[in-house]
């Protein structure tokens, strides 16, 4: 997964990919980010001849007017159809585009759709009604989900017979290696953008005033810390790394030196959820520190269950069985 993905007719990307690339604040879209975005978009459209580009603007909470100039100049010169949208209740990007393009030479429109989001359209032809925009949003999200399933499937390592998972008494057909994703910058940025979006969506439902992201393995810590880097500019988020819980339990530093406030709300962020051993260990330690683990967010999970026990909600970006056809786990 690089900067853009496409089904041949519609091109899709996320603004967050271009802020992170230039090592600025990931939620700020600056002049250099805008120029970099347009440079990559023009190159991609020249290759694919895609008639429409859709850009997800979630998580952008600061924008430079000069960044919008690059978008404006490109749209006028190349006469392309561009749609920007946000669905995270922060519509700064779309609102800023509307203000910048006002009274300028371009056919534009801004549209809000209840429970869907806000859209800013730079059009070369006729307008799209709300139903078309809703369908288009679902379409690009489906494109993204297909690419994500392929990406996570590429991290699967097929095993020899009688391969046993390190953390759980299960015999497996293979294992998923998050290092394959973590070590590829473009793929990693996509995954973090999706994970941050999912967490923010779920947290907005329960309206936590503050919470703590917990990680318990080296691979999971990279994901958790990066997600926190994106979300901390909007939410009050703490971070606790419970060192070396999994996949092999080899605790290096006692978490009881860290401490939490009483009943502190904790969410676990990690790579993959198979048997739930790491999560259960993390739950125990969170309780020992005074907190309460309430939600789990992972790249992929094997179980179809959405809860662990009676109190922990389990969320994933994909079902692992969708990523690998021959995936199989058996109790030893």
Helix/strand number for the chain, H first, E second: 10, 17
Task: For residues 304 and 319, give the distance between their C-alpha atoms in angstroms, rounded to a whole number.
Answer: 8
Residue 179 CB contacts under 8 Å (≥ 6 apart), including other chains: 155, 219
* pLDDT value of position 2: 86
DSSP state of 167: S
Task: For residues 92 and 84, give the distance between their C-alpha atoms in angstroms, rounded to a whole number.
Answer: 11
pLDDT tens-digit profile of 272-290?
A: 998 888 898 889 888 888 8
DSSP state of 234: T
* pLDDT value of position 135: 96
pLDDT above 70 covers a percentage of the chain that reads 93
In contact, 245 and 281? CB cutoff 8 Å: yes
Give the CB-side neighbour count of residue 81, counting CA atoms within 13 A: 15
Q: What is the mean pLDDT of the chain?
A: 88
pLDDT tens-digit profile of 192-227?
A: 999 999 999 999 899 888 899 999 888 899 999 999
* pLDDT value of position 300: 96
Q: Are strands 264-273 and 107-113 parallel, antiparallel or unpaired?
A: unpaired
pLDDT tens-digit profile of 55-84?
A: 999 999 999 888 899 999 998 888 889 999
pLDDT tens-digit profile of 170-184?
A: 777 888 999 999 999
* pLDDT value of position 155: 95
Place of tokens 């406030």: 261
Alpha-carbon distances of 254 from 85, 90, 224, 244, 284, rounded to whole Å:
44, 39, 20, 10, 13
Task: For residues 144 and 190, give the distance between their C-alpha atoms in angstroms, rounded to a whole number.
Answer: 9
Please tell me which residue, 149 or 305, carries the higher pLDDT value.
149
| Token output for 240 | 């606790």
Give one word for 159, left, alpha or beta, with left for phi > 0 and alpha for psi -120 to 50. beta
pLDDT above 90 covers a percentage of the chain that reads 57
Confidence class for position 256, pLDDT limits 50, 70, 90: very low
* pLDDT value of position 216: 87
* pLDDT value of position 170: 77
In contact, 195 and 244? CB cutoff 8 Å: no
Task: For residues 291 and 293, give the distance between their C-alpha atoms in angstroms, rounded to a whole number.
Answer: 7
Beta-strand runs (E) in 50-181: 52-56, 62-63, 81-86, 107-113, 117-123, 156-164, 170-176
Widest distance between CA atoms in the chain:
69
* pLDDT value of position 151: 96
Task: For residues 58 and 185, give the distance between their C-alpha atoms in angstroms, rounded to a whole number.
Answer: 19
In contact, 202 and 315? CB cutoff 8 Å: yes
Residue 236 CB contacts under 8 Å (≥ 6 apart), including other chains: 209, 210, 211
Helices (H), 232-313: 277-289
pLDDT at 253 over 60: no
The closest of 300, 323, 141 to 220, measured between CA atoms, is 300
In contact, 178 and 219? CB cutoff 8 Å: yes
* pLDDT value of position 243: 61
In contact, 291 and 263? CB cutoff 8 Å: yes
* pLDDT value of position 257: 45
* pLDDT value of position 255: 44
């Amino acid at each position: 997964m690089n900067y853009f993905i496409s089904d041949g007719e519609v091109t899709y990307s996320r603004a967050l990919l271009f802020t992170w690339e230039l090592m600025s604040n990931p939620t700020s879209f600056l002049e250099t980010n805008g120029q970099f975005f347009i440079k990559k978009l023009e190159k991609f459209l020249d290759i694919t001849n895609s008639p429409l580009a859709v850009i997800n603007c979630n998580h952008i909470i600061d924008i430079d007017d000069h960044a919008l100039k690059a978008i404006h100049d490109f749209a006028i010169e190349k006469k392309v159809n561009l749609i920007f949208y946000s669905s995270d209740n922060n519509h700064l990007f779309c609102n800023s585009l509307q203000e910048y393009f006002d009274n300028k030479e371009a056919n534009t429109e801004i549209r809000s759709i209840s429970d869907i989001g806000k859209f800013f359209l730079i059009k070369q032809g006729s307008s799209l009604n709300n139903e078309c925009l809703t369908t288009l949003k679902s379409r690009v999200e489906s494109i993204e989900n297909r690419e994500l399933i392929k990406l996570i499937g590429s991290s699967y390592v097929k095993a020899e017979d009688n391969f046993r998972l390190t953390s759980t008494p299960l015999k497996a057909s293979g294992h998923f290696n998050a290092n394959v994703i973590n070590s590829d910058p473009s793929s990693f940025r996509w995954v973090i953008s999706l994970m941050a979006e999912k967490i923010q969506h779920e947290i907005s439902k329960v309206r936590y005033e503050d919470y703590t992201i917990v990680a318990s393995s080296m691979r999971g810590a990279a994901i958790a810390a990066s997600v926190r880097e994106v979300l901390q500019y909007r939410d009050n988020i703490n971070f606790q790394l419970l060192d070396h819980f999994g996949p092999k339990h080899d605790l290096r530093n006692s978490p009881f030196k860290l401490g939490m406030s009483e009943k502190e709300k904790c969410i676990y962020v990690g790579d993959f959820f198979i048997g739930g051993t790491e999560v259960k260990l993390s739950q125990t330690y969170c309780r020992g520190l005074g907190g309460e683990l309430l939600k789990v967010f992972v790249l992929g999970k094997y179980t179809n269950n959405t809860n662990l026990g009676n109190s922990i909600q389990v969320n994933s970006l994909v079902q692992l069985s969708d990523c690998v056809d021959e995936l199989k786990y058996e109790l030893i």
